[in-house]
Amino acid sequence: MCRIWATAFVARSDAAQSGHAVRDEDTTMAKVIAIMSMSLDGYVADQSDGVAEVFDWYMAGDVDVPTAAPEWTFHVSAPSAAHLRGLMGEVGAWLTGRRTFEKAGGWEGRHPWGVPAFVLTHEVPQGWPRPDSTVHFVTDGLESAVAQASAAAGDRAVGVHGGDTIRQLLDAGLLDEIHVDLVPLLLGSGIPLFGLARNAPVVLGNPTVVAGMGVTHLRYPVGQA
């Protein structure tokens, strides 16, 4: 597991030609982990952008997992609880897209995991940033967003929410792991997690697997056969 941390990127000539960003070997950067709940047929939301069914597992057990926000306490199975606690200790900052930010109501200014959140967007939404908020907005591109989130994460990882942001990172070669909370549900249609990856096929390594109640947690390293 690569634990090299940093805040800078370089684009080498071959990377520029391929459209991929490349991490400078002389600098360090936080590990970047995509974390999303997904239906068995690959959707993160239904046609109406509803997400309740893919997130039902967060309330499907009898083990409490508190967060930094008192109103956000998960009730999951014991395996999922251990899994979530491990992730909460690992993630030091979040990177999300604008849709995820809007869907979550801006987390009322503070992400429930108690770490800074960086929102990749074209424009800062009206009324933001807010006093005492730990939500930050990045308008100068993907690499800047990853660099800022990496700096905030310190010696921990950057977690990523949002299908479009995850696809951009995957296409840019900036994603280290894909973590899918796979729910036993066929939505049939909706918003896909991956869509069409520009640099497909993308090789993933063998996953670690945690079987919870109403969910299977799969964690794949990217680019490792």
**Reported pTM:** 0.84
Please tell me the total count of domains within the chain: 1
Rounded to whole angstroms, the Cα distance separating 83 from 193 reads 21
Please give the residue that has the higher pLDDT: either 14 or 101: 101
Give CA angle at 148 (142, 150), nearest 5°.
100
> What's residue 225's pLDDT?
53
In a domain, 162, yes or no: yes
In a domain, 22, yes or no: no
In a domain, 68, yes or no: yes
Q: Return phi, psi of residue 168, to 5°.
A: -60, -45
In a domain, 7, yes or no: no
Half-sphere CA count of 84, side-chain side, radius 13 A? 26
In a domain, 133, yes or no: yes
> What's residue 37's pLDDT?
96
The residue segments making up the domain with residue 181 are 30-221
Q: Percent of the chain having pLDDT more than 70?
A: 86
Average pLDDT (207-213) is 97
Average pLDDT (139-151) is 97
Instruction: Assign residue 135 the CATH number of its domain.
Output: 3.40.430.10
Q: How would residue 47 be classed by pLDDT, with cut points 50, 70 and 90?
A: confident
**Residue pLDDT, tens place only, 51-77:** 889 999 999 999 999 999 888 899 999
Q: How would residue 83 be classed by pLDDT, with cut points 50, 70 and 90?
A: very high
In a domain, 8, yes or no: no
In a domain, 50, yes or no: yes
